Amino acid sequence: MASSGLQLLGYFLSLIGLAATVAATLMVQWKKQYQGKTYRIYDGLWMSCGGDERTTCEFHQYLLKLPSEVQATRAVMLVSIFLSSVALMVSTVGMKCTRFMDDKAEAKSTVAMIGGIMFVVAGLLTITMTSLYVKMIVKISYESHSLQSAEFGNAVFVSWAGGFFTTAGGAFLSCRRCSKAQAGSISSNHLLPTTQPKSNYV
Secondary structure, 3-state, 73-106: HHHHHHHHHHHHHHHHHHHHHHCCCCCCCCCCHH
CATH number of the domain within which 76 lies: 1.20.140.150
Structure confidence at residue 97 (pLDDT): 65
Q: Could you report the per-residue pLDDT of 172-188, keeping only the tens digit for each?
A: 888 754 445 444 443 44
Domain boundaries, position 115: 2-27+66-186
Is the residue at 57 inside a domain? Answer: no
Is the residue at 199 inside a domain? Answer: no
**In this predicted structure, which of 1-5, 40-44, 115-119, 170-174 has the lowest mean pLDDT?**
1-5
Indicate the residue type of 2: A
- The residues that bridge with 41 in the sheet, in sequence order, are 33, 50
pLDDT-derived band at 91 (thresholds 50, 70, 90) equals confident
Is the residue at 36 inside a domain? Answer: no
Of 15-19, 52-56, 61-65, highest mean pLDDT:
15-19
- pLDDT greater at residue 1 or residue 113: 113
Is the residue at 58 inside a domain? Answer: no
The strands making up 149-152's β-sheet, listed across from edge to edge, are: 55-59, 47-51, 39-43, 31-35, 149-152
Is the residue at 195 inside a domain? Answer: no
What is the distance between the alpha carbons of residues 110 and 196, in angstroms, rounded to a whole number? 34
pTM: 0.77
Cα 75 to Cα 27, 122, 183: the distances in Å are 15, 13, 42
Indicate the residue type of 156: V
pLDDT-derived band at 47 (thresholds 50, 70, 90) equals confident
Sign of the C-alpha dihedral computed for residues 63, 68, 72 and 78 taken in this order? negative
Number of structural domains in the chain: 1
Strands 149-152 and 55-59: unpaired
Is the residue at 192 inside a domain? Answer: no
**In this predicted structure, which of 23-32, 42-51, 151-160 has the lowest mean pLDDT?**
42-51
Is the residue at 54 inside a domain? Answer: no
Q: How many CB atoms lie within 10 A of CB 128?
A: 13
Structure confidence at residue 183 (pLDDT): 40
Cα 46 to Cα 2, 97, 123: the distances in Å are 43, 39, 21
Among residues of the chain, what percentage have pLDDT more than 90?
Answer: 29
Is the residue at 52 inside a domain? Answer: no
Structure confidence at residue 21 (pLDDT): 95
